[in-house]
Structure 1
Amino acid sequence: MARRCTILLTSWFLLLSCGAWAQEQRVFDKTVRTLQVCADGNPTLPPWLSQGKHQHVEVSWDQMSHDYQRYIYYVYHCDADWQVSEGIFESDWLAGTNGQPVEDYEKSFNTTQIYTHYRLTLPNKDVGMLLSGNYCVRVYRDGDGPDESAPVLEARFCVYENSVSISQQVSGNTDIDFNDRHQQVTLRVGYGSLRVVNPAQEFRVLVLQNRRWDTKAVGLVPNERNAAGMGFTHNRQLVFPGGNEFHRFEIRDVRRAAAGVDHMEWYEPYYHATLLEDRPARNYSYVEDQDGVRVVLSPEEGSENTTAEYVVVHFLLTTPRLPGGDVYVCGQWTGETYAPDCRMEYDEQVGQYHAAILLKQGYYSYQYRQADGSTARTEGDFHETENEYTTLVYYREQGARYDRLVGCCTASTRNR
């Protein structure tokens, strides 16, 4: 009981709101929580839409009150570096008119913490995307124009063509070690019908591990080129640390502990969930996971968005203080950044890192990482780890004014 009180009392003053400064998805308003951006309303799918397949991106968030907020959104086309495209007119890439209101919202029902759930779907009857590439959506309060103030939030998504062919393989036999701590991607891109004159200038190829933009491989130089395409083999930039399987927990019922949860308690004004303590792994052990995904859940199936509770979740990592910098709780739901909001505190007395994070009820998978993105000390790196690798191919033809996203391909080490 003494240990439990230490966690609760010490962590309470460090109550966090992870996700406030996401690299891909950013929140600028402290009254906004649980920003989620996904394809086709499925929280396990990344917000990458195949052009011409009638997919949609869903952006949703909670504003922590029942006071109606009139939100206005603006959609922007961006280049491969996520800077707003300057060389094209809005009418080139936008069907409809910017500055539309968010009209889909619903108040929470029978929850200890009140909130209003807002949802925006693109494309919709007012706005559509005409070109492939990167897009960002910026949401403002009505009366705050895009040139006058910071947005409430910014969400990012991609629309991709299938104009190139992409083949990729992942192996534990790398240019650094053999079936040890790394995985290496071998990649080939076929030009298809694209008119390619200077591939080094016209293409930008990115590779993401588990949808992480903070550790992306970029600036890749092919070592094989011919008239049909280019290949990337034995490329040291495509060697990734293997990492480890994600931890996971589930809070469907706030009155009893479920998977990954040691115990549930009520301390005014929140429910508290203390997770089972984690430790750095010395050996690989397979655990089926979702690579950092969050799925909102509640006992009221079908109305999770407005009936799920907010719970203070206590994360515990038992280990001697680690060299190499601060430790963070990370997952796709934290935005994959290393902001102070996600930083853990170390308790010298008990030899444990801990963080208290206010989260919406549901299923979560997560990892512990240090500020440089490494999991070597916090989780261990293993070549057996099941990881997902996504290749994004951007193309700007000579004389063109914007970056097209001409291909997207995902491969998993499950298929090795």
Structure 2
Amino acid sequence: MIKPAGLFFLLLLTIQIAVAQQQQFVYENKVYLPQIKTVQCYNAQKEQSLPVIALKSNERLVFSFDDLNAGSKNYWYTVEHCTSDWKSSRLSTIDYLESLSEDRITDYKYSFGTIQKYTHYQLTLPNTQIRPKISGNYILKVYEDGNQQKPVISQQFYVVDNLVNIGVDVVASSQVSLRFSNQKINFTILHQMPIQNPYTDLKAIVMQNGNPQTAVLNTKPNFIRPGSLAYNELNSNDFVAGNEFRKFDIRSLRYKGDNVQDIIKDTTTSVILFQDINTSKAKYSNLIDENGSFFIRNKEGSDDPTEGDYANVMFTLNAVPPTPNGDVYVTGRFNNYILNEASKLSFDSSRKRFYGNILLKQGLYDYKYVWLNKDTGKIDQAVFEGSFFETLNTYQVFAYYKKPGMRWEELIGYSNVGSVKR
């Protein structure tokens, strides 16, 4: 017979385990469960475009993911309004949503003819159940069994009310030493609406290739004229241009595509890519890339979302650590440019090479290697890739406005431009 003290201890242990199993959502692009793969979110008008839609328009977001545990799960979702720096706006759902505040994902299909079994889930936003009614940053939350303490995915997206126009120029860096390696963004916000104090009420954020890690905040225009605000300070919005992304093609798992050295099939499928070299010392080469994007494709089937198989893709980087204490990561939009254990490579000191495996679905992929210096905490995008002003990148500018007395920030303008080779 268990004594009362023992019962109390057992109850306390059970509570501690339950609490440990619970997680909290974060306001960034994140996958919380290892079996969830191939998360996609884009404007339906163009595959792999940034998840930006116009307020009260016919534009829709396509959101999808695969669950490698297969079967059918009880996945729910909701959306939350956020500030320009991705924190909760602390609004009631009544303030930013029409109709319901959460709903279940009911559109799912099972994989067909694949070695790796999975279930493909898909969702479009806005829909009849969930419809944002104000502009701004939003986080889409997917969770199990209607319980937000069991997070599955968090995904950022944007709803813009186009009240201003944003003119963007991509020029060489104003700093002489960086002229051949960096790209500088100058932009002007053209408006007809009254903006009483642009220094406190208006913010602008610039990003490169839709990568949140590159975001630069602008709070003070350099020139204020009637109907226009110019942001062209000499040393601001100066981006490392990088190099064109590396890429590989695994649309077929029978025949070798671009950059594929070998395909090995057993109980699972493995794809070995040709080893990559350090291109930081090389000259710029005009390669065609997709600025970090990926596209799910399958040459052997008719339905890409459900007939595309998964493969363990092996990356090899022929390079040595640039500093004594750090790690190499392979990144792209396929993993939200996140530096974690799944994207980290291991160094083989005897061969002086980095190796890593990532489970990926059939398709076309862009990727690059970055170095995280553990001593400084800084990420170096160019140490293995090089950086050249000629590199073709895309730049995004978001303009946020908080009216006097208003409790939230509106997204009043958005521009997406490509850099121009000189």
When normalised by structure 1's length, the TM-score is 0.89
For 1:412 and 1:22, the matched residues in 2 are separated by: 30
Q: How does 1:139-154 map onto structure 2 within 5 Å? A: 139-144=142-147, 146=148, 149-154=149-154
Give 2:114's aligned residue.
111
Give 1:272's aligned residue.
270
Q: Which amino acid aligns with 1:361?
A: Q
| Residues 261 and 23 (structure 1), Cα distance of their counterparts in 2 relative to 1, 3 Å cut | farther
Give 1:363's aligned residue.
364
- Greater length-normalized contact order (CA 8 Å, ≥ 6 residues apart): 1
Contact 1:23 1:335 in 2 (8 A): no
Contact 1:28 1:151 in 2 (8 A): yes
Deviates more, 1:168-177 or 1:291-300: 168-177
- Is residue 2:135 matched to residue 1:132? yes
Give 1:263's aligned residue.
262
Give 1:40's aligned residue.
44
Give 1:16's aligned residue.
none
- Is residue 2:418 matched to residue 1:412? yes
- 1:27 corresponds to which of 22, 28, 31: 31
Give 2:348's aligned residue.
347
| Residues 33 and 276 (structure 1), Cα distance of their counterparts in 2 relative to 1, 3 Å cut | same
Contact 1:174 1:182 in 2 (8 A): no
Paired residues, number: 390
For 1:376 and 1:106, the matched residues in 2 are separated by: 41
Cα deviation, residue 75, structure 1: 1.3
Q: Which has the larger radius of gyration?
A: 2
Query: 1:92-118 CA deviation, whole Å, 9 max, x = no partner?
Result: 211111221101000000100100000
| Residues 22 and 82 (structure 1), Cα distance of their counterparts in 2 relative to 1, 3 Å cut | closer
Cα deviation, residue 385, structure 1: 0.6
Cα deviation, residue 227, structure 1: 3.1
Q: How does 1:271-350 map onto structure 2 within 5 Å? A: 271-281=269-279, 282=281, 283-300=283-300, 302-323=302-323, 325-350=326-351
Give 1:206's aligned residue.
205
Cα deviation, residue 326, structure 1: 1.2
Would you identify which runs of 4 or more consecutive aligned residues in structure 1 move more than 6 Å?
Answer: none
Contact 2:313 2:360 in 1 (8 A): yes
Cα deviation, residue 52, structure 1: 3.6
Q: Secondary structure at the match of 1:379?
A: coil
- 1:70 corresponds to which of 74, 77, 80: 74
Give 2:13's aligned residue.
none
| Residues 232 and 172 (structure 1), Cα distance of their counterparts in 2 relative to 1, 3 Å cut | same
Cα deviation, residue 51, structure 1: 2.2
| Residues 176 and 217 (structure 1), Cα distance of their counterparts in 2 relative to 1, 3 Å cut | farther
Cα deviation, residue 322, structure 1: 2.0
Query: 1:179-232 CA deviation, whole Å, 9 max, x = no partner?
Result: 411111111112322x21111110111000111111211144221112322111
Q: Which amino acid aligns with 1:326?
A: D
For 2:178 and 2:45, the matched residues in 1 are separated by: 40
Identify unmatched segments of 5+ residues in structure 1: 1-20
Cα deviation, residue 235, structure 1: 3.5
For 1:178 and 1:141, the matched residues in 2 are separated by: 49
Q: Secondary structure at the match of 1:341?
A: helix
- Is residue 2:249 matched to residue 1:250? yes
| Residues 131 and 143 (structure 1), Cα distance of their counterparts in 2 relative to 1, 3 Å cut | closer
| Residues 403 and 302 (structure 1), Cα distance of their counterparts in 2 relative to 1, 3 Å cut | farther
Contact 1:22 1:335 in 2 (8 A): no
Query: 1:104-147 CA deviation, whole Å, 9 max, x = no partner?
Result: 00000010010000011111121111111011111111142x3x
Cα deviation, residue 89, structure 1: 2.8
For 2:260 and 2:131, the matched residues in 1 are separated by: 43
Q: How does 1:138-217 map onto structure 2 within 5 Å? A: 138-144=141-147, 146=148, 149-177=149-177, 179-193=179-193, 195-217=194-216
Q: Which amino acid aligns with 1:30?
A: P
For 2:47 and 2:261, the matched residues in 1 are separated by: 26
Q: Percent identity?
A: 28
For 1:415 and 1:54, the matched residues in 2 are separated by: 34
Identify unmatched segments of 5+ residues in structure 2: 1-24, 373-377
- 2:384 corresponds to which of 356, 378, 388: 378
Cα deviation, residue 43, structure 1: 3.2
| Residues 74 and 232 (structure 1), Cα distance of their counterparts in 2 relative to 1, 3 Å cut | same
Contact 1:284 1:382 in 2 (8 A): yes
- Aligned-residue Cα RMSD (Å) equals 1.8
